[in-house]
Amino acid sequence: MAPASLRLLYRDEHLVVADKPAGLAVHRGWAPERDVAMVRVRDALGVRVYPVHRLDRGTSGVLVFALSSEVASLFAQLFATGAVEKTYLALVRSVPPESGLIDHPLQPGEDRGEPRVPARTSFIRREVFGRYSLVEAKPETGRLHQIRRHLKHISCPIIGDVRYGKGEHNRLFRESFDLHRMFLHAARIRFQHPATGTMLDVQAPLPSELATTLARLRCHFSGGSPRKA
């Protein structure tokens, strides 16, 4: 099944912010297929676009593209200095503290032999459903799979994560809550516009499949009925 449609959340003459669906890679460097987010945005606008950060294929939400190489370079500086604030929502197994900072070095890429580099993710626990929790996570650095790896590190793997999660919990949510993807959503991005200097704060609503899962959890753990409709 093809990923859902991609929506544009914001556009000006310098950049565009898209709402990437789960199941869609950002660009062909990370996927062999032609249908990637960069191509969809390019075709929608009719101009060349430059990805300035990444989202995992299984993650939905806000994704920024520059409309020139110059603006892309300015974005690289923003990310390098930690001036871009990204907020994610994740449904995890277990109940973490109400808030905290995960300060745990990670390999920067896929090579396990690489030396670890600093990696930090702050989090706030938003809701609890029995032995599961909805968590808001903000990465302070930008390492590969950082949120997924950090939440696993504190024994709170993300539901639906086939790489770092737990198979029995992923199966439970597929069978009982009809969740067939990783519950990780890039809900918000906030930064100073690299060309104009104004503050931009762009949000992507929770996709329907994730909102439905939360509604079923709230119903189930409030003494209501069902899991799957």
CA distance 99 to 117: 23
CA distance 87 to 187: 6
Burial 129-157 (b: 16+ CB within 10 A, else e): beebbbbbbbbbbebebbbbbbbbebebb
Do 60 and 186 contact (CB within 8 A), yes or no?
A: yes
Alpha helices in 83-202 (DSSP H): 146-153, 167-177
Q: Check if 19 is active-site.
A: no
* 172: number of Cβ within 10 Å: 16
Which of 12, 35, 43, 56 is catalytic? The answer is 56
The residues, ordered by sequence, that sit 6+ positions from 182 with a Cβ below 8 Å of its Cβ are 22, 56, 58, 59, 158, 159, 160, 161, 162, 165
As annotated, the active-site residues are: 56
